Every structure is written in C-alpha cells, then in structure tokens.
A and B are shown apart, each in its own frame.
Chain A
Amino acid sequence: MILPDDAPTLLMDNVQYRWPGQASFGLHVPNLTLAPAETVLLLGESGSGKSTLLSLICGTVQPQSGRVSVAGTDIAEMSAGKRDRFRAEQIGLIFQQFNLLPYASVQDNILLPLQFAPQRRDRVASLTDEVTRLCQNLGLPKDVMTERAGTLSVGQQQRVAAARALIGTPPLIIADEPTSSLDAATQATFLELLFAQSQTHGTTLLMVSHDARLSTQFDRVIQMADIAQTTRDDA
C-alpha cells in the first residue's frame, strides 16, 4: 500500500455542503485524503451522499466552506469554466451505466475528454495508437474502434468507458459503481484491467460501490459513514 507521503491526489478538508432549496440538509466531510497511485473503495448506502461527494470532487457543485484540492490545486478558487477544464485535465470518470454516447464511435467516445483537455491531449503522442493500445489492454476486439458504442455489449461499453477515463493518464480516476451491471466473471476481469492500468500510470483510483466483497482488491476501504455525515438542522 502506498502511503500519502507526497502531495495527495485528493484532499477534502472540513467541507460543508448544503443542497440547493434544502437548506436544512447538508453533507459534512471533515477529512478525506487519497495518495497518488492509491486504490480506494468507498462503500455506502443509497442516500448517504456518495453522488454529492463525487460532484464536489469533480467541481460540478461548490461547497459552502472547506477545501477540495485535486492534484494540489484548490478547485473552489477557480471560476466555473476553469473548473470544467480542470476536471477534464485531471479526472477520468466512469459511470455506472449509460456511460457512452451511443451514436458515436468507440474511438470518438474514448477521445471525447481530450477535446476539452489540451494538456491531457498533449500527453498522448498518437491518438489512434493510444486508443488502439488501450482497447487491446482492456481486452476489446481489434476492430471495435469504428463501431458505434450503442452496438456493444454492456461489458464492452464499460471497458470503453474505462479507456476513456484512462486516456491521457489523468492523476485521478473516479468510478461510480462501474461493475454493478456486469456479471461476476466480467466484473473480475474489468477490475483487473483497471488496476493494471492504474498501477502502470500511477493513477489514483476512487471507486464507489455497494458491494463489500470487492474490499480485498483495494489498497484501502472507507465507509461513507466514516468520512462524511449528512446533517439535518431542526431549526
């Protein structure tokens, strides 16, 4: 396990968030730190604030107080436009399902984040070669690149989503229950591939799941209840 000796990939410090229109409800994250190349499994029940936590990390919602720092940069101090670009540069995202643009080709889906992240794009010498390499490493068929994403199986779509998150080697990958729609065999292969890629490029992986059985495969397992509290003011 790699301990967070250096500058952490993610640091959340005393973050307070209140949902718009529901001022009495809030989420409080006293501290969450992820080290470079660390793989972390975040377990939590539905309604425990996981999605809000991910939105805070990605900068699509803003905390009322506290600090959210990704790769050493406090995203709260950025303008909305800079946050969007920063997200594209620094974070690779994999959703639970319906992850891809179904009408676009596999290659276009994988290259999509690079449209909004010029520095990440500069890290890729040859776009086509990199897409091919990622597809091969993730076990996708060779001729899949020109296929429309909507024609692929669910398992293949999740691998394409993983390739899209990995391209340009962002320092942080967030995966929101990426294996929930996969069968057990595909789930294991998918995680294996994701870990291998993460290890190769020193990428930090934060994966959200309900499934505690995955715990053994990660460097660290944290419970949502241990790092964050949902608050309710009676006033």
Chain B
Amino acid sequence: MTVLERPATLPTPALGPAPSRRAGRRRRRAVYVPLVVIAVAFLIPLVWLVSISLNDDAGLASGSLLPKTLHWSNYRDAVTLIPFGRYAVTSLLLAGVHAVLATLSSAMVGFGFARLRARGKGVLFMIVIATMMVPAIVTLIPTYLIFARIGLVYTYWPWVLWGLGGSAFLIFLFRQAFSAMPSDLEDAAIIDGCGWMRMFVSVFLPLAKAPCLAGFILTFTGGWADFISPSLFLSNDQTTLAVGLSAGYTTPAGTPLYTTLAAGAVLYILPVLVIFLVLQRGFVNGFVTSGMK
C-alpha cells in the first residue's frame, strides 16, 4: 500500500479574493462543467452495479438500462447462496486483527525512531523507508512457500505476524507524529519516574489518536480489499469475502448469476464506502490511500 500523508496540522490556506469578481465567476463556470461531467461519469459504474443488483435475468436480457421492478431478493440470494456471513466475518476479523496489531506495533516502532537514540538508528530508518519501495508481491509468494513448509498456510497466523511486523508507512507516519511532540512531555515523565514503555503507553500514545485512527482505517480497508494473500494463504472454505465473492455465484448447474453477483459486490463495497463517507474529511484532507494490488 502506498500512502501519503499530509500533516493534519497544516492549515487550509485562506483563499484570498479573486482579482476580478466577474472573471472569477466565468472561470468558476469553466470549472463546474468538467467537474460535473467527471463526477457523474465516475459514479456511473457504481450506479450500474446497483442497477444490475436490483434487476433480474429477464430484465438484463431485455436490454433495458434500469430494472422495471426492484428485485431485492437478489440481496437475500447473495448472502445465502455462498457462505457470505462466514466470509464477511473472516474478512472483518483478519482485517481488524491485522489493523490493530499493525497500528500498535508501528506506533511503538515509530516512537522508538522518533524519541530514542542508538547507534544504527539512521541506517535502520533508511531501511524502513526503502522497504516502502519493495513491491509487496515480490515477498508475498516466497513467504507463502516458506509458510507452507512450516504449516502456517491455511491458518490465520500470517495476518497476526504481518500485523506484529508493522507497516513501513505507518512507522513513518508515527515517527512524524511523535517527533513533533514537545520534549517537555518526556522530561516530565522522567521526573515522575516513568520508564520509556510507560511513557510511550500513557503519555505519548494517547496524544497520537489521529495517526492511530488513520493507520487503523488505512490498514483495515487495505485488508478488506486484499485479494492475493487470502487466495494464496487460505483454503476456499475459510477464505475472505474478496476471494469468496470473486469466485462468483452460479446455479447448482453452473450458470453464472450476474444479478446476485452484483448484489454481493454491492454488499462487499458498502462497508468501505460507509467508512469513507463517515470519515470523508479525514480521507480527503489527512491521508490518502491508493490500491496496492
């Protein structure tokens, strides 16, 4: 996952008045038209998906663009024809556990890089940054082969281990956050007789709620979206929604059920969209994710 962060502290620049009001208005109109066109065009795929999810086979065959009656039963089929609930719980669990572990572990490591000193720290931090440039897929397949040898495939442990190892980007994020905190905090804690671990847990971590949330959301949505790891490391009956869904819905005889698949896809996408819409401001202003795979 490549993610880029903009410090949340950066104020949105106050926009000065445009040089001439009329020119400004004209320019604004030139801005609106393409924006509306693009925004609508960007929504079409999702609208189409929802439309298919409410259609039936006859409706699809007739070539009508929108369903004549709404077939909500597709949604019932979507969750009953495949073990949708089990897949969803697995997705939730794996993404959740991985996100919590990765966030906490990265916070701890980021704290180390921000506030502690030791020989080799500079080099190690360079390595952290360099690992962001290693394509994840290059290490994933060999990891699979190794884990197969030691019996870790077809278990959920890989997600725990990946979580514990932290994420280079989050470490970077936390390092930034902890570096920016005043050193008086440290002094006060030391006067109080705190060890570094206590200082981290009870003084610094509570002040890093924003990066914690950002890290959790990014890792969680990344885990929810991940297709390759579960398809490699998990068997078909213990897998996640991303993989279970992509195998598609068919009748017992093997006919693909497009409308049900669309309904399943809507249900799969929905949680992420809800998270996005709720935390939209944070997404758009504070941090950004772009697909890893």
Answer yes or no: do A and B interact: no
